[in-house]
Amino acid sequence: MVNRLRNDISREILIVRRSLRMLDGALRRLGPVVSDAIGSDGASRFTASRHRPRLSAKARASLVLQGRYMGYMRQLKPRQKAQVRKVKEAKGVRVAITRARELAGV
């Protein structure tokens, strides 16, 4: 009885050791493949790299204005948005932002 139990335990330990050896081999083979895919710079070769475009001060200021305009416009009702669009067409973005701020109650 004790001998049989000892044999069962030894067999299970042998199976686990064999499985661990196979896992170790698989991980060793996977290592170089992953490092080649990532590259030395740390960027993945599977995703397209996107760089931020360099913006001039004028372009950045324009984006800030656009963001303010959109931020106020989304708070308005459709009829108020139409009023602000007319102001924008006639007098420009800065005046439209001022009008949108007034209509939004900010």
Range of the domain at 95: 58-104
Q: Contact at 8 Å (CB) between 65 and 93?
A: yes
Q: Which amino acid is at 14?
A: L
Tens of pLDDT, residue by residue over 71-96, are 999 999 999 999 999 999 999 999 99
Q: Considering the domain boundaries, does residue 89 fall inside one?
A: yes
Q: What's residue 43's pLDDT?
A: 61
Provide the sign of the torsion angle of the four alpha carbons 54, 59, 60, 66, taken in this order.
negative
Helices (H) and strands (E) in the chain, counts: 4, 0
The verdict on 35 and 63 lying in the same domain is no
Task: Confirm whether 4 is domain-assigned.
Answer: yes
DSSP single-letter state for residue 1? -
* Judgement on whether residues 31 and 69 belong to the same structural domain of the protein: no
Residues 6+ apart with CB under 8 A from 28: none
Residue 33 lies in a domain: yes
Q: Verify that 32 and 65 share a domain, yes or no.
A: no
Is residue 33 domain-shared with residue 62, that is, in the same domain?
A: no
Number of domains composing the chain? 2
Q: What is the pLDDT of residues 30-71, one digit of tens each?
A: 888 877 777 666 666 666 667 788 999 999 999 999 999 999
Distance between CA atoms of residues 65 and 92, nearest Å: 11
Longest dimension (CA), the chain: 98
